[in-house]
Structure 1
């Protein structure tokens, strides 16, 4: 009897948004394709030696710009370094920048958006006006200005510091969009009955914000966050190509494309392979973001 009651209670458990979203995602091939690709690239970034044993920094000038062959699948670059090894190892810096910038931007923007919606008044005005000032600055131009200003700090700095500076720049210019999304989602339920009931029962500000407002903010922020990863990976490549982002000896797709830019006519393969990996990675994150958005929005089902 007790087992029957347990089965009934389990079957009648109310389904939430995430349960419906997961059921929707499981039936979408685009979700599984993008997830497999993203998992592959993350594995490549975390354990590049699983894909190649060649040191990406070893150079042989006598074989400069040698075309792809059975020995070197993607050929050799201008300094005689293996392009395949540099493409595999380049995934680490590019994906770290994308994921780290997305995580920090989501945390800062989400918290500030929830604070603006909950506190209102001068706090809402201050956060909103500060965000509008940053949004008024073109993204790439703003990043170039900031990174050029700190160009002296990058010279002679280690890879970790350079990556941190790029991540900080991308976060500074991107958190206002996340804050606006979070503020809108939190404000829509700020005056809901269950929030007012929790406040009447003595719930404090932190409990209301993190127990009642945060769950309503997570869905739109997660959707936007999955798309931000693709944006930040592209931004890193763009800034590195312009010479203000990551720089040698850091190995990334953007650095590889930048180094090969002057030789595109003589050796097209130098830019083709890192560009292809970059495009497929960005496309995979965009596909995942679209799938999650469609699954979390009942109007799109």
Structure 2
């Protein structure tokens, strides 16, 4: 009997039903950042071969004789103060910066989805406790907290930096998940699933999360860009990544004293950082607008 009721119960609408793909595929603001991010992803996956395309080669092969050379043959982005090829360093730094952004965002998503879903779906005292915990983390200054923790941990690597950034970043996303779950849990298809006897876990996994996760994933793209900027900022301040790790933030930090005499040392890593963040923000805004019926 329950199978017959289940067969007649209304199904939860999905992102496919909403025509998300049909909306996105017609937008230049979707394809342009996707192409840019695909190229950056390829660079992150194959930094060695791509660095060799224009004679860059090994980012750690430095010669003081070539110190602070402007862009030219063999060094398309010029060289830094130690005579290291900036092009090769930018290419290899792409992997570090993107990996920190993606890993931090993934960690935040896991924590936010678990806590935000529990708070939004359960409500009551559970929601109150999780919300107050979120408020505690939100009330602590992000940059200050990251500086204190990273300073006390010695020499951080990309994974450790990602963990610290995720530790202070998850509350914002958790609030978004909570709000999305609360808006979905009162819909007819959720009530119907409860009436036919589905467990709370089944209701959440089959009906609530698939319909609440869309706006969260749209924000996640923008979040990756924010994390990359945060990592670069911390590294620039001297509390993030350190040599011999290669990242855009380290390149910016090393170039800050030579903007007047060798501007190319700052220009190219800053350009790659700006393009990456702009592509991620544009993609996130486009997906978010496509999920909003008023934006179609």
> Do Structure 1 and Structure 2 share a fold, with TM-score over 0.5?
yes
1:97 is aligned, of 96, 100, 104, to 100
2:263 is aligned, of 250, 264, 268, to 268
User: Is 1:46–1:92's contact at 8 Å kept on the other side of the alignment?
Assistant: yes
| Paired residues, number | 280
Distance 1:207 1:298 in 2: 28
Unaligned runs of 5+ in 2: 1-11
CA deviation map 1:77-105 (0-9, x unaligned): 11111111001111000000011111111
User: Is 1:55–1:85's contact at 8 Å kept on the other side of the alignment?
Assistant: yes
**Which residue of the partner structure matches residue 238 of structure 2?**
243
User: Is 2:14–2:210's contact at 8 Å kept on the other side of the alignment?
Assistant: no
**Which residue of the partner structure matches residue 4 of structure 2?**
none
Distance 2:209 2:226 in 1: 24
Partner of 2:109: helix, strand, or coil?
helix
1:17 maps to 2:7 = no
How far residue 129 of structure 1 moved from its aligned partner, in angstroms, is: 0.7
Question: 1:1-301 counterparts in 2 under 5 A?
Answer: 16-19=14-17, 20-53=19-52, 54-150=57-153, 152=154, 154=155, 162-301=157-296
How far residue 15 of structure 1 moved from its aligned partner, in angstroms, is: 8.2
Partner of 2:16: helix, strand, or coil?
helix
User: Is 2:108–2:169's contact at 8 Å kept on the other side of the alignment?
Assistant: yes
How far residue 16 of structure 1 moved from its aligned partner, in angstroms, is: 4.7
**What is the TM-score with the length of structure 2 in the denominator?**
0.90
Distance 1:32 1:191 in 2: 35
CA deviation map 1:124-181 (0-9, x unaligned): 122111111111122222221221222x2x2xxxxxx611111111111111111111
Distance 1:222 1:193 in 2: 24
Structure 1 runs (4+) greater than 4 angstroms displaced? none
**What is the TM-score with the length of structure 1 in the denominator?**
0.89
Distance 1:80 1:50 in 2: 21
CA deviation map 1:15-67 (0-9, x unaligned): 85335111111111111111000000011011012322211011111221122
Distance 1:133 1:247 in 2: 30
**Which residue of the partner structure matches residue 158 of structure 1?**
none
User: Is 2:67–2:81's contact at 8 Å kept on the other side of the alignment?
Assistant: yes
User: Is 1:117–1:183's contact at 8 Å kept on the other side of the alignment?
Assistant: yes
Distance 2:139 2:43 in 1: 37
Say if 1:133 and 1:15 are closer, same or farther in 2 by CA, change over 3 A.
Answer: closer
